[in-house]
Amino acid sequence: MSLKNLLDITASREASKGFKQGLSEERIKEQLPYLRNLVAFFREYPDLFIDFLLKNNNPHNFHFYFYQRIFLRIVMRHRYVYATFPRA
Protein backbone atom coordinates (compact mmCIF):
# COMPACT_ATOMS: atom_id res chain seq x y z
CA MET A 1 0.00 0.00 0.00
CA SER A 2 1.42 3.39 -0.94
CA LEU A 3 1.87 6.38 1.34
CA LYS A 4 -0.90 8.22 -0.49
CA ASN A 5 -3.37 5.44 0.34
CA LEU A 6 -2.31 5.39 3.97
CA LEU A 7 -2.82 9.14 4.31
CA ASP A 8 -6.12 9.22 2.45
CA ILE A 9 -8.67 7.53 4.70
CA THR A 10 -11.36 7.23 2.03
CA ALA A 11 -8.95 5.61 -0.43
CA SER A 12 -7.79 3.06 2.13
CA ARG A 13 -11.42 2.21 2.98
CA GLU A 14 -12.23 1.63 -0.68
CA ALA A 15 -9.12 -0.51 -1.11
CA SER A 16 -10.08 -2.71 1.80
CA LYS A 17 -13.72 -3.47 0.99
CA GLY A 18 -14.88 -6.48 2.98
CA PHE A 19 -11.60 -6.68 4.87
CA LYS A 20 -11.08 -4.58 7.99
CA GLN A 21 -7.65 -3.06 7.93
CA GLY A 22 -6.07 -0.30 9.97
CA LEU A 23 -7.37 1.69 12.91
CA SER A 24 -10.61 3.59 12.50
CA GLU A 25 -13.08 5.27 14.82
CA GLU A 26 -15.86 2.76 14.17
CA ARG A 27 -13.58 -0.21 14.88
CA ILE A 28 -12.61 1.36 18.21
CA LYS A 29 -16.25 2.04 19.07
CA GLU A 30 -17.09 -1.61 18.39
CA GLN A 31 -14.50 -2.68 20.96
CA LEU A 32 -15.33 -0.12 23.69
CA PRO A 33 -17.41 -2.48 25.90
CA TYR A 34 -14.59 -5.03 25.94
CA LEU A 35 -11.98 -2.35 26.59
CA ARG A 36 -14.03 -0.97 29.49
CA ASN A 37 -14.16 -4.41 31.08
CA LEU A 38 -10.41 -4.88 30.66
CA VAL A 39 -9.61 -1.49 32.14
CA ALA A 40 -11.94 -2.10 35.09
CA PHE A 41 -10.35 -5.50 35.73
CA PHE A 42 -6.76 -4.29 35.47
CA ARG A 43 -7.46 -1.30 37.74
CA GLU A 44 -8.37 -3.78 40.47
CA TYR A 45 -5.49 -6.15 39.68
CA PRO A 46 -2.53 -4.08 38.41
CA ASP A 47 -0.09 -6.91 39.16
CA LEU A 48 -1.94 -9.17 36.72
CA PHE A 49 -1.68 -6.43 34.10
CA ILE A 50 2.11 -6.46 34.45
CA ASP A 51 2.10 -10.27 34.31
CA PHE A 52 -0.03 -10.04 31.16
CA LEU A 53 2.40 -7.59 29.53
CA LEU A 54 5.42 -9.72 30.40
CA LYS A 55 3.84 -13.08 29.59
CA ASN A 56 5.84 -13.84 26.45
CA ASN A 57 8.63 -11.29 26.71
CA ASN A 58 10.25 -11.79 30.12
CA PRO A 59 14.02 -12.14 29.59
CA HIS A 60 14.99 -11.53 33.22
CA ASN A 61 12.37 -13.84 34.76
CA PHE A 62 10.62 -10.92 36.48
CA HIS A 63 8.05 -11.81 39.13
CA PHE A 64 6.35 -10.17 42.10
CA TYR A 65 6.65 -11.42 45.64
CA PHE A 66 3.40 -11.96 47.52
CA TYR A 67 3.74 -8.80 49.63
CA GLN A 68 4.49 -6.73 46.51
CA ARG A 69 1.29 -7.93 44.86
CA ILE A 70 -0.77 -7.12 47.95
CA PHE A 71 0.78 -3.67 48.36
CA LEU A 72 0.30 -2.82 44.67
CA ARG A 73 -3.36 -3.83 44.79
CA ILE A 74 -4.01 -1.83 47.96
CA VAL A 75 -2.29 1.29 46.63
CA MET A 76 -4.28 1.16 43.39
CA ARG A 77 -7.64 0.54 45.10
CA HIS A 78 -7.53 3.19 47.83
CA ARG A 79 -6.94 6.89 47.63
CA TYR A 80 -4.99 7.22 50.88
CA VAL A 81 -2.71 4.51 52.22
CA TYR A 82 -0.60 4.45 55.37
CA ALA A 83 2.43 2.18 55.42
CA THR A 84 5.42 1.61 57.66
CA PHE A 85 8.61 0.31 56.10
CA PRO A 86 11.04 -0.95 58.76
CA ARG A 87 14.65 -1.43 57.77
CA ALA A 88 15.04 -4.83 59.35
> How many of the other CB atoms lie within 10 Å of CB of 75?
12
Confidence (pLDDT) at 80: 93
Longest dimension (CA), the chain: 66
Confidence (pLDDT) at 26: 85
Confidence (pLDDT) at 73: 92
Confidence (pLDDT) at 54: 83
Q: What is the pLDDT along the chain (88 residues), one digit of tens a residue?
A: 455 655 565 555 555 555 556 778 888 888 888 989 998 999 899 989 888 888 877 777 788 899 889 999 999 888 999 988 888 6
What CA–CA distances, in Å, run from 14 to 4, 23, 36?
Answer: 13, 14, 30
Q: Taking the model in full, what pTM does it have?
A: 0.59
